[in-house]
Amino acid sequence: MPGKIEDGETQLRDTNGPKKTMKLLSGTRFQWIAYNTETKQFLGTGGGTYTSIDGEYIENIEYFSKDDSKAGLSLKYNYELIDHQWHQSGLSSKGYPIHEIWSVRD
C-alpha cells in the first residue's frame, strides 16, 4: 500500500522497507496479507467476499488471522481509481475512519 490520507494529508509509505501488505481482488473474493520480505515472517491475513458497484466497495470478512471476532463483519467503503491507484475510504475493522491508497498491479 503506497499510503493513506490522515487529517487531510497524504502520508506515503516507504515501499522499499521490508514490511509489505498486499490486497488481492479476484472475481468476488479478496485477501490481504502482511509479511516481512527480509525475515520471511508472516504478519497476518484476512479475506472473504466483496462487491464493488458504482463507487461502493463492501468487504464481507470470513477470516482474520489476528482477531477471530472480525469474521462476519461487513465493511463498506467508497472507492475510486485515481491515477492507477485504488482509493478506499470508510471505517476500519476497528471502527475508525480510514482512507487507504493501494497501487494497482496488472
- pLDDT tens for 12-51 read 666 678 988 889 999 999 999 999 999 999 999 999 999 9
**Is the pLDDT assigned to residue 58 strictly greater than 50?**
yes
Question: What is the domain-level CATH number for residue 15?
Answer: 2.40.128.490
Cβ burial of 100 (10 Å; 0-12, 13-18, 19+) is buried
Task: Write out the residue range of the structural domain in which residue 98 sits.
Answer: 3-103
d(CA 62, CA 30): 10
Query: Which pTM value belongs to this model?
Result: 0.80
Q: Is the pLDDT of residue 11 over 80?
A: no
Contact, 47 vs 36, CB < 8 A?
Answer: no
N residues, the chain: 106
Look up residue 95 and give its DSSP letter: S
> What integer pLDDT is reported at residue 6 of this predicted model?
59
Give the model confidence (pLDDT) of 61-95 as tens digits: 999 999 999 999 999 999 999 888 889 999 988 88
Task: Indicate the number of domains in the chain.
Answer: 1
Q: What is the pLDDT of residue 90?
A: 92
